[in-house]
Amino acid sequence: MDFQLTEEQTELRDSVRRYATERLVPIADQIEASGEAPSDDLLKEYADMGYLGINIPEEFGGQGLGNLEALLVVEELARISSAIAFPVFESCVGPVRAIEKYADRSLCESVIPAVCAGEKIVAIAMSEPQAGTALTDLKTRATLDGDEVVIDGTKRWCSGGGHAEGYFVYCKLNDDSGAKSIGAVYVEKGTKGLTFGLQEHLMGFRGVPSSDVYFDNVRVPKKNIVVHAGGFGKLMSAFDLERCGNATMALAQASAALDDVTTYVQERHQFGKPIVDFQAVQLKLAEMKMQVEASRLLIWRAAVDAEQGFPSISASSIAKCYANEISRTVTGDALQLMGGYGYSKEYPMERRFRDAWGWGIAGGAIDIQKVNITSAMIGRRFDQRS
């Protein structure tokens, strides 16, 4: 058991932090002001630096590194803003990894290299109006028709909706009940019958597009089936890695908030001395530091244990649940310590606070992670319907 990063991992983390700090702060401010997603030029820049597909095999245009390296990069970018990191998040821990593991080779070759080159973003389309946490209640249907698959249905809360070039769609592939019917199909933007709702206006996540996605007799080749009916377990295994990415995005808000407030309390004077000299501030900083460090270790454990595969549902749920909770606490405490400066939009703290709350909703709410953790402890799933 080794809690230290290798020299190469440390160099990677430090190089990304330098790049993010020197290059991306004004871009993040522009994105926050406009609400627009990162530009195509920035995606190309990420691609040139090798950030897209860090843990994707070299044969598909990736770097062939591990999940931990991918999460190191995600954290450093997300410390600047969630929107800045989101394209890398999607390429390294999102649906692209499921496509790599489970899709037909020809589909992998047409999709993954384009993602690594910054030419394509792939979004995941899971939730529906009546199927969020209860995902096995989804209604979107994919029906085989010769050499094609015909998709009908509606997806909600699709991060990247209307902006991404490809969609990894969870759907029913037969008439079986629950998980037995569910698989996933890849659909390209521009396919006839695929349309999008209005962009959502959320509390946070500015620069991360989100919309409903509509499928009306959408036809794609049969080879676009990535996971066949009955493969719900495979989909959830891939999603366990996305949970680690979600946890890292949450952690990054807390980590950056802690760094900012640590500087602030040493510079801010009240009653004739720096406020860090007050014991109440010292205790709060210590609590925040412990939470950030513990969260990072839980995420790293899940990633390292998975090696190049997918983390366990237990490890990923523990990491996500804890990171989501401490991110809200740490950013809230940091905002309070900074007072009006924390609450002002002139500084990034209030953005981090808003985004921290979002990560505890996205990718499975905090409480459902606790159910997952208990299920793993007891050794069986719990029927929420009875």
Nearest to 275 by CA among 285, 144, 42, 239: 285
Superfamily of domain 233-378: Butyryl-CoA Dehydrogenase, subunit A, domain 3 (1.20.140.10)
> Are 71 and 9 within 8 A, CB to CB?
no
Which CATH architecture fits 122-230?
Answer: Beta Barrel (2.40)
Q: Where are the domains of the chain?
A: 7-116, 122-230, 233-378
CATH number of 7-116: 1.10.540.10
Which residues have C-beta within 8 Å of that of residue 325, sequence separation ≥ 6? 360, 366
Q: Is the pLDDT of residue 308 over 80?
A: no
First to last CA, the chain: 42
- pTM across the whole model: 0.95
Span 88-139, pLDDT tens digits = 999 999 899 999 999 999 999 999 999 999 999 999 999 999 888 888 899 9
**Distance in angstroms (rounded) separating the CA atoms of residues 142 and 171:** 6
Check pLDDT > 80 for residue 385: no
Reply yes or no on whether the pLDDT at 1 is more than 70.
no
- Residue 19's pLDDT band (boundaries 50, 70, 90)? very high
pLDDT, residue 186, reads: 98
Provide the percentage of residues in the chain whose pLDDT is more than 70.
99
